[in-house]
Amino acid sequence: MSDSHLQHELGQHLREELLAGRISRREFLRSATAFGLSAGAIAALLAGGGRAPALAQTPPVKRAGTIRVALVPPTAAVDPVTMYDAGAIAVVQQVAEYLIWAEKDLRLRPVLATRWEPDAQARTWTFTLRDGVTFSTGRPLGADDVIATFDRLTDPQTKSAARSNFKGILSKGNVEKLAANRVAFHLDRPFVDFPYLLSSTNYNAVVLPQPYAGDFEQHPVGTGPFALTAYTPKESASFKRNPGYWQKDLPYLEGVEFRFFAEIQPQVLALQAGAVDMMLATPFQGSQAVFTDPNITVLQTSSSKHRAVHMRVDTAPFTDKRVRQALALCLDRPGIVQGLFQGRADVGNDEMFAPIFPGSPTIPQRTQNYAVAKQLLREAGQADLKVTLTYEVYQEVPQYAVFLQQMMKPAGVTVTLDQMTQAAYYGSGSTQPWLQVPMGITDWASRTVPSQFILPAYTCSGVWNSAHWCNKEYDDLAEQYDATLDAQRRGSIARKLAVLQQDATPAIIGYWIRAPRAVRKRVQGVEPNGSDFLDLTRASLA
């Protein structure tokens, strides 16, 4: 099936932007795949638009073996609809699949969908499903399964962990069956990046059969490369190759073994001893030993993972933006990146356009300036400021809190540290300190589009707006950004958003963490992932 007339026009526009130097090759590829252009169309458009890098030849693949993976255990029952932790997500991703997979460079790879295209307003998106795919129960994949999946995820009556991603974008009942293998998503408003919300970046969005009853642990079902054969909570999970997998020559492995560890250090020791072949995630703090081990390769990719230091704009002294700006000016950001990660992170600039996002705007970098910080504090009547910083015990966050305390002291700011367990910090119900304390550090997992941060955390109606910041102009610009297909206009809107947020400083974004993944030398075909997601379809053992 050929690309539509609209896709042809969008593709030509992207090519013109690329040739004019207004977008990068990476941004071209990311946008082209998001618009659903076919591989052939993309290749044709790139002719004359810059030579693709040569690909290194890979050694022959060994079709056997079981790979052993160290990771944290699921914290609750494994259910694709409600899961939110890395352990459960990794289990489900071996068994079930998405319409689309987001690669490490944010290109979109077709999986259960073979093509997708927007209407002229990017408000209706049509998806074509792959033929010949069956669930592990033998049920053929069809439009009814896709409709049921996304009705389930957008239903206000379920405990879907994906509802925040779809809020204001897709409502229950708005997926239409066009044919046995075609569906249309009718959105609440135009959203150019909508395919990303149906991809692996929205981890709950695996396609499940229409009759799914929420009993994944008892009846694990999916279209994926492996079948779950055994699961012991807190200990292990075992998978075997799915003989009916739709990619007939895959997977290469006979099986997968997950071994759960509550802490990072035992994972590191198991990897170094050869008791496991890889770690799902390898945070630098606590894993330093693997970075110099000659038997281990550390794969790495950029990500939008970060820590937001929010300051509640409705609570003194943070009601005055000069105070917020002053604290942000105390940070030695390159020093923090070096001290916490030995350079394995990118400097942040107090706005949500991470360097990994194609088309991220360039605005003046905020740097350490104690003279201006002191002046702002004097003007705000806060020359002897005292604040409490609340934070969780998680990876490098406690060390970051100490860095902030030390760096703010020369500006005359006394920071009292209030450390909490991760469970206590996030809490539940009416007790969720991370949304309530005047100043706190929150860890954010990587996303693939800026709106996945902006909408929940920085708009007036955002469900995770821990700074309680509300700016109507910012909200309007965010909506324009989501609806704009033209790359140049979109870039201009992005710059306005970045400038507005940096000036208001509802949160300090000091760094963007790169995502390492440590593997034994014999592991092949495994990629790092900004969100620590795991696709073992093409993994093998030498």
Angle formed by the axes of helices 25-34 and 5-19, to 10°? 170
Tens digits of per-residue pLDDT, 460-471?
A: 999 899 999 999
Distance (Å, whole) CA 528 – CA 299: 6
Q: Which CATH fold topology does 59-96+224-295+521-542 show?
A: D-Maltodextrin-Binding Protein; domain 2 (3.40.190)
Q: Which of 244, 67, 220 has the alpha carbon at shortest distance from 228?
A: 220
Distance (Å, whole) CA 338 – CA 508: 18
Encoded tokens for 539: 């993994």
Contact between residue 455 and residue 478 where contact means Cβ atoms under 8 Å apart: yes
CB count in 10 Å sphere of residue 162: 23
C-alpha to C-alpha distances, 359 to 33, 197, 450, nearest whole angstrom = 15, 19, 11
Strand partners, 279: 70
Query: How much is the pLDDT for 222?
Result: 98
Q: What is the pTM of this model?
A: 0.86
Distance (Å, whole) CA 43 – CA 36: 13
Distance (Å, whole) CA 284 – CA 264: 10
Name every residue whose Cβ is closer than 8 Å to that of residue 245 and which is 6 or more positions away in sequence. Answer: 223, 224, 225, 251
Distance (Å, whole) CA 171 – CA 173: 6
Name every residue whose Cβ is closer than 8 Å to that of residue 53 and which is 6 or more positions away in sequence. Answer: none
For the chain, list residues with pLDDT below 70.
Answer: 1-24, 26-32, 34-35, 37-59
The answer, yes or no, to whether the previous bond of 251 is cis (omega within 30 of 0) is yes
Distance (Å, whole) CA 273 – CA 280: 16
Query: How much is the pLDDT for 61?
Result: 83
Q: Which of 16, 44, 29 has the alpha carbon at shortest distance from 358?
A: 29
Q: Which of 485, 514, 404, 466 has the alpha carbon at shortest distance from 120?
A: 485
- In angstroms, the first-to-last Cα distance of the chain is 39
CATH of 97-216, one of 3.90.76.10, 3.40.50.2030, 3.40.718.10, 3.40.50.1820: 3.90.76.10
Helix boundaries (H) for 427-486:
433-436, 451-458, 472-483
CATH of 302-514, one of 3.40.50.300, 1.10.10.10, 3.40.1350.10, 3.10.105.10: 3.10.105.10
C-alpha to C-alpha distances, 50 to 25, 282, 355, 449, nearest whole angstrom = 8, 35, 22, 25
Query: How much is the pLDDT for 428?
Result: 87
Strand partners, 517: 299
CB count in 10 Å sphere of residue 92: 25
Encoded tokens for 321: 């933006």
Distance (Å, whole) CA 405 – CA 411: 11
Looking up tokens 């008791």, which residue turns up? Answer: 275
Distance (Å, whole) CA 86 – CA 281: 9
Query: How much is the pLDDT for 170?
Result: 97
Strand-strand pairing, 113-118 and 124-129: antiparallel
Distance (Å, whole) CA 502 – CA 353: 11
Tens digits of per-residue pLDDT, 47-67?
A: 654 444 444 445 678 889 999
Distance (Å, whole) CA 7 – CA 14: 10
| Sign of the Cα pseudo-torsion (178, 179, 180, 184, in order) | negative
C-alpha to C-alpha distances, 342 to 228, 345, 515, nearest whole angstrom = 38, 8, 13
Which one-letter DSSP state was computed for residue 300? Answer: E
What φ, ψ does residue 156 adopt, rounded to 5°?
Answer: -60, -20
Q: Where are the domains of the chain?
A: 5-46, 59-96+224-295+521-542, 97-216, 302-514
Encoded tokens for 262: 């509550």
Helix boundaries (H) for 47-176:
86-95, 143-154, 163-166
Which one-letter DSSP state was computed for residue 330? Answer: T
What φ, ψ does residue 311 adopt, rounded to 5°?
Answer: -130, 115
